[in-house]
Chain A
Amino acid sequence: GAGVSQSPSNKVTEKGKDVELRCDPISGHTALYWYRQSLGQGLEFLIYFQGNSAPDKSGLPSDRFSAERTGGSVSTLTIQRTQQEDSAVYLCASSLALAGPYEQYFGPGTRLTVT
């Protein structure tokens, strides 16, 4: 079946603009995660959703970052007033449930470049 999809695959934006990144999880997966991967670095956890709710937003790096998930499926990560340090690959993953099994399946990522 279809895996996790993300759009756009690449986004170039000017500093100060807002961007929206989209994630479409695997059908039936109730848990959804957002990560950030800076060049040559590991994955930084940002936020997870169980259904439509996000119990823990402490991983978001600043209040310019927000995420929502409606209908228990598609999620959008919004970055307001983008800064150059926001440049990274943003990865989305989904899993069947938070309580297990824990296997997370990743999308291809959105490469964000802030000029």
Chain B
Amino acid sequence: GENVEQHPSTLSVQEGDSAVIKCTYSDSASNYFPWYKQELGKGPQLIIDIRSNVGEKKDQRIAVTLNKTAKHFSLHITETQPEDSAVYFCAARHQNNNDMRFGAGTRLTVKP
């Protein structure tokens, strides 16, 4: 089955700096890659996603890149703010299965 690895497990940046979180997946048949933000005591919230027919997608300060050949995708947050502090999860969905495999999460801390 699909295996998703996520790095780093923790990331601390200064306010205004950029943050990058990377994920790799094992199954080349995965075709949908969402990123979720989870704040303390809440369920994960979708912040951005990318499909396998696209290499990059941007939404304001957040961007995601996908390299299908290398089977990795990354989340980029620019001009980080303290409210970006949360746990971020990547995930991969197989095109034929209907379960989503998640990475182990990255705890991002943005220091003011």
A residues sitting closer than 8 Å to B (CB atoms) are 4, 31, 33, 35, 41-45, 48, 50, 55-56, 59, 91, 93, 98, 102-109
Contact = CB atoms under 8 A, between A and B. Distances in A.
A61 B104 CA distance: 18
Contact of B98 (A4, A43, A48, A108): A48
Q: Is the interface of B mostly helix, strand, loop or mixed?
A: strand
Contacts, number: 55
B104 A104 contact: no
Given A31-B98, A103-B49, 17 more contacts: A41-B104, A41-B105, A42-B89, A43-B89, A45-B101, A45-B102, A48-B98, A55-B98, A56-B98, A59-B99, A91-B44, A102-B32, A102-B34, A102-B93, A104-B46, A106-B44, A109-B42
B86 interface: no
Contacts of A42: 6, 89, 102-105
B90 to A, nearest CB: 9
Contacts of B43: 4, 91, 93, 106-109
B29 interface: no
Interface residues of B, number: 23
Contacts of B42: 108-109
Interface string B23-58: 000000000101010000111111001000000000
